[in-house]
């Protein structure tokens, strides 16, 4: 901050007041520069009492408001300072900074220009106007300001880095790479340039060089952007060096949530398959489907080697495994440990195997015991379970390893007297296992009594769906990606769909947001962490799912989400409306999806926005093939049939359409598998249907939430649609790329503030 001497118009005040104001201001500046903001604030107010339009005091009170995150107040104060003295460079500069934070980019650019007009060599103003211009995709003009800084200060690292971004945005990739390299020559440890250069390499498909740059960036210090890019590097699918350093970074990414655990699982699994378990993985898969005598495959030494893989143990405790070969290794390991527990439990507890046993049990709880077993194996497990229940009841000792192996076959909370296990002292790994399988389910049961009920659940299909998710709450998750800085909904949508017809909501704070079908809370929590100034109401049919969601929300300290049980088809009766509504993967499981969607539209305020997720008929073709395969064999939505059906599908030839569902993460847990292959109700859609519905109801299509690669391919295919909102083009694109919407059609629409006179803009042709 460069506080300047007071510059104000004292013509309206006595000279003595001007002098006193100047003294108070100078004293305030000293406090401000020393970091004592409260004392500085008092001094600026003293100056304003003497000279009510003291421009510099108004200016720096605005700076203090900005430092405290009160940017609306900051803008008001600094605008008053400019009204009192429009010739102060820093007032215009700081006003532009605040306007940029508020998203008023055009006004910010205007005041950067005014600052530069007053002081042409204002380096910071040139650099910041370049950032604002790049946000508006005005790449060439942004580059002009970067080059001006380089005329003032040759080899200025930040200017070279920003110039690289401007050149990259303009498609001049070779020049951008050279500019990033020049920035690194000027400042070798410049994290921003390392990150930007890495992203350029990553976009070009050179994940190896990107990884090298990101390792350098992370060596400088912890950096969220570097971690995010490294996660993208891992997710690129490109070959990466399997060094110990990279393996450690993969482990950190999983432990610290650098990317979504489900996204990271595949990368982690690829490293596990070449780690300490490699030989035992081969043995287990060669012997499959035989699991017993599993001791012949592993023995204590083999289990010790597998147990020593920290990456494997972390995966098991964090996210469901989604690899067939690793599932077979773990299934055989479980059988081996079950056999060992009967004879050498003490030996297990002297090694890392106890920790692995507990991690294995936690994985089984996460995937809801979806792995297969032989009848003899299950009989042993039942006997051990009954022995544990009897020991808990009678207060007799019981092996920690035996507790873990029972938990790998049955959820501990299902045991009679399970709460008695909590009264004993256990090793840390077992205590954590008991928290997962006894303490947390106990909390969820207690939450049921206080859960609000907004509507009854009476519709026949709704009751069937409710029963499914009471039995199998969906999805069962442990961790989420680490949240970034929360942004307003307006800013998020403006940045996500910069060229769409999005009209900002009329309020930034107090936005009322309905999550219609929140499941176990993953979606509502991610939204609550991502959006600032939003109050969420999250509803679901399933009480079991809602209680899971509420427990996780409390654990994470999130206070702006309220949960309630309700049926979407009955929501019209609650007498409420919302600024934003999200319903992802929910309308697909309702008897009348179009009618339910109309109900949601009726709850959306004029000018409100809505995010919808629907299954694609085309993209879901392999899942439909698997559903038909299972139905033809008489499999039902029972745990036994789902286990058997999964094994049958895994045994199919790789060319089979039904076999392709094994590439989907949902295949690897009971609730997800049931949701995907055994759902009581499923509707699928096509884009022409969606386009017609949007037009019928006057909804403006804002765009799809898709990965950057798919959006880039669409832009290359249809350069005449820069906003990416032409649903006819998207329909053609999907026909040419049928897996584009393999997860869902996930898109945003907006309800106009006034009834439109034409529907031409709604998914225009």
3-state secondary structure 395-442: CCCCCHHHHHHHHCCCCHHHCCCHHHHHHCCCCHHHHHHHHHHHHHHH
Is-contact 646 617, C-beta < 8 A? no
How many C-beta atoms lie closer than 10 Å to residue 282's C-beta? 13
d(CA 479, CA 488): 24
| φ/ψ of residue 515, rounded to 5 | -100, 105
Is-contact 156 149, C-beta < 8 A? yes
Is-contact 367 320, C-beta < 8 A? yes
The pLDDT assigned to 621 comes to 96
* This prediction's pTM: 0.81
In the chain, which stretches have pLDDT less than 70?
A: 1-16, 291-298, 342-351, 754-765
Per residue in 291-313, pLDDT (tens digit) is 654 556 667 778 888 888 999 99
The pLDDT assigned to 757 comes to 46
Cβ neighbours of residue 617 under 8 Å, at least 6 residues apart?
A: 684, 685, 686
Q: Which domains does the chain have, with CATH numbers?
A: 10-213 (1.25.40.10), 273-447 (no CATH), 485-516+524-537+552-563+570-616+684-759 (3.40.50), 621-677 (no CATH)
What DSSP designation does 449 have?
G
The pLDDT assigned to 267 comes to 86
Q: What is the largest CA-CA distance in the chain?
A: 99
d(CA 232, CA 311): 19
How many C-beta atoms lie closer than 10 Å to residue 347's C-beta? 13
Cβ neighbours of residue 385 under 8 Å, at least 6 residues apart?
A: 406, 409, 410, 415
Beta bridge partners of 487: 531
**Buried-state track 114-150, b at ≥16 Cβ within 10 A, e below 16:** bbbebeeebbebbbbbbbbbbbeebbeebbebbebbb
For residue 385, give the nearest of 402, 397, 362 by alpha carbon: 402
Q: Is the peptide bond before 220 cis (omega within 30 degrees of 0)?
A: no
Is-contact 200 168, C-beta < 8 A? yes
Provide the CA 107 distance to its chain's centre, in angstroms: 32
The pLDDT assigned to 709 comes to 80
The pLDDT assigned to 689 comes to 98
Burial, 388: exposed, middle or buried (Cβ in 10 Å; 0-12, 13-18, 19+)?
buried
How many C-beta atoms lie closer than 10 Å to residue 564's C-beta? 16
């Amino acid at each position: 901050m460069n506080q300047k001497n007071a510059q104000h118009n004292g013509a309206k005040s006595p000279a003595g007041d001007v002098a006193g104001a100047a003294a108070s201001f100078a004293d305030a500046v000293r406090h401000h520069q020393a970091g004592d903001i409260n004392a500085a604030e008092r001094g600026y107010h003293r100056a304003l009492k003497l000279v009510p339009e003291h421009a510099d005091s108004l200016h720096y009170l605005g700076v203090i408001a900005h430092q405290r995150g009160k940017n609306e107040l900051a803008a008001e104060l600094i605008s008053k300072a400019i009204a009192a003295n429009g010739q102060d460079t820093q007032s215009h500069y700081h006003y532009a900074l605040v306007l940029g934070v508020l998203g008023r980019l055009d006004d910010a650019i205007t005041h950067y220009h005014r600052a530069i007009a007053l002081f042409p060599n204002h380096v910071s103003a040139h650099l910041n106007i370049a950032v604002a211009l790049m946000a508006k995709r005005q790449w060439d003009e942004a580059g002009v300001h970067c080059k001006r800084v380089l005329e003032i200060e040759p080899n200025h690292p930040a200017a070279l880095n920003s110039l690289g971004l401007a050149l990259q945005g303009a498609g001049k990739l070779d020049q951008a790479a050279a500019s990033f390299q020049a920035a690194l020559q000027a400042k070798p440890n410049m994290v921003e340039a390392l990150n930007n250069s890495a992203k350029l390499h990553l976009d070009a498909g050179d994940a190896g060089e990107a990884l090298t740059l990101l390792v350098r960036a992370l060596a400088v210090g912890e950096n969220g952007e570097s971690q995010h890019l490294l996660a993208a590097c891992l997710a690129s699918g490109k070959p990466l060096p399997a060094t110990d350093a990279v393996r450690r970074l993969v482990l950190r990414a999983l432990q610290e949530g650098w990317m979504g655990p489900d996204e990271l699982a595949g990368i982690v699994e690829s490293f596990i398959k070449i780690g300490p378990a490699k030989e035992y993985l081969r043995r287990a898969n060669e012997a499959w489907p035989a699991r017993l005598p599993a001791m012949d495959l592993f023995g204590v030494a083999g289990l010790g080697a597998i147990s020593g893989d920290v990456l494997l143990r972390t995966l098991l405790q964090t996210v469901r495994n989604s690899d067939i070969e690793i599932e077979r290794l773990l299934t055989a390991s479980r059988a081996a440990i079950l056999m060992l527990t009967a004879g050498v439990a003490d030996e297990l507890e002297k090694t890392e195997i106890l920790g692995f046993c507990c991690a294995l049990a936690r994985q089984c709880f996460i995937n809801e015991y979806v792995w297969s077993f032989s009848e003899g194996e299950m009989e042993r497990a039942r006997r051990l379970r009954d022995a544990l229940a009897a020991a808990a009841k009678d207060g007799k000792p019981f092996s920690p390893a035996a507790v873990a192996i029972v938990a790998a076959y049955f959820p501990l909370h299902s045991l009679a007297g399970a709460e008695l296990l909590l009264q004993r002292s256990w090793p840390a790994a077992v205590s954590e296992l008991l928290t997962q399988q006894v303490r947390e389910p106990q909390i969820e049961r207690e939450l049921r009594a206080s859960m609000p009920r907004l509507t009854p659940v009476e519709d026949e299909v709704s009751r069937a769906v409710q029963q499914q998710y009471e039995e199998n709450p969906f999805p069962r998750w442990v961790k989420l990606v680490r949240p970034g800085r929360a942004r307003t909904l307006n800013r998020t949508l403006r940045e996500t769909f910069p060229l769409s017809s999005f009209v900002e909501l009329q309020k930034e704070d107090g936005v009322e947001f309905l999550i219609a079908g929140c499941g176990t809370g993953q979606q509502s929590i991610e939204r609550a962490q991502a959006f600032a100034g939003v109050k969420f109401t999250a509803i679901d049919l399933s009480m079991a799912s809602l209680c899971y969601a509420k427990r996780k929300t409390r654990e994470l300290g999130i206070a702006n989400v309220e949960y309630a049980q309700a049926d979407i088809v009955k929501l019209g009766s609650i007498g409420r409306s919302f600024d934003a509504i999200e319903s992802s993967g929910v309308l697909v499981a309702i008897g009348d999806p179009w009618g339910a969607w109309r109900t949601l539209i009726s709850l959306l305020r004029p000018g409100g926005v809505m995010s919808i997720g629907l299954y694609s008929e085309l993209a879901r073709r392999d899942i439909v093939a698997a559903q038909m395969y299972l139905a033809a064999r008489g499999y039902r939505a029972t745990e036994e049939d789902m286990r058997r059906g999964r094994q049958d599908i895994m045994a199919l030839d790789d060319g089979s359409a039904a076999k392709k569902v094994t590439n989907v993460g949902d295949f690897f847990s009971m609730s997800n598998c049931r949701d995907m292959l055994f759902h009581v109700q499923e509707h699928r859609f096509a884009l022409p249907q969606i386009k017609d519905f949007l037009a019928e109801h006057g909804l403006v299509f804002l765009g799809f939430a898709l990965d950057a690669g798919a959006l880039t391919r669409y832009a290359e295919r249809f350069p005449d649609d820069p906003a990416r909102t032409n649903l006819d083009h998207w329909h053609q694109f999907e026909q040419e790329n049928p897996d584009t919407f393999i997860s869902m059609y996930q898109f945003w629409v907006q309800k106009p503030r006034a009834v439109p006179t034409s529907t031409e803009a709604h998914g225009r042709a």
